[in-house]
């Protein structure tokens, strides 16, 4: 039973959508209710916090990738596209000004 609850608590998306404080609170409650030793509880809490960070980073990466795909489908220019166009415009303006 404990392993099932532990695995449920540590699932990626669920961890990423909860706040750090919520994860800590859930882990502490689980440690108390299962009568873990102090060392086991500390290790479990550290594991929860580590997995929380991993899940949050992975979720952020997936969201960035999804936004990039959407922008490509919409054929919207990226910041680098706009910066490149601005550089070309600046270069053209300089060329025109030197000819005058």
What is the mean pLDDT of the segment spanning 70-81?
Answer: 84
Q: What is the pLDDT of residues 81-92, one digit of tens each?
A: 999 999 999 999
Over the stretch 47-61, which tens digit does the pLDDT of each residue have?
877 887 887 788 888
pLDDT one-digit tens code per residue, 3-17: 555 555 555 545 555
- Given a contact cutoff of 8 angstroms between Cβ atoms, the answer to whether 45 and 24 are in contact is yes
Q: Which domain holds residue 65?
A: 2-99
How many Å apart are CA 53 and CA 58, to the nearest integer?
9
Which comes out higher in pLDDT, residue 65 or 34?
A: 65
φ/ψ of residue 78, rounded to 5: -85, 170
Which pTM value belongs to this model?
Answer: 0.48
Total number of domains constituting the chain: 1
């Amino acid at each position: 039973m404990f392993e099932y609850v532990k695995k449920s608590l540590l699932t990626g998306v669920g961890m990423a959508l909860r706040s750090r404080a919520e994860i800590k609170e859930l882990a502490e409650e689980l440690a108390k209710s299962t009568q873990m030793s102090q060392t086991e509880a500390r290790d479990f809490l550290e594991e929860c916090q580590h997995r929380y960070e991993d899940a949050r980073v992975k979720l952020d990466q997936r969201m960035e990738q999804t936004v990039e795909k959407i922008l490509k489908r919409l054929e919207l220019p990226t910041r680098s596209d706009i910066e490149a166009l601005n550089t070309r415009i600046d270069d053209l303006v300089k060329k025109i000004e030197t000819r005058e």
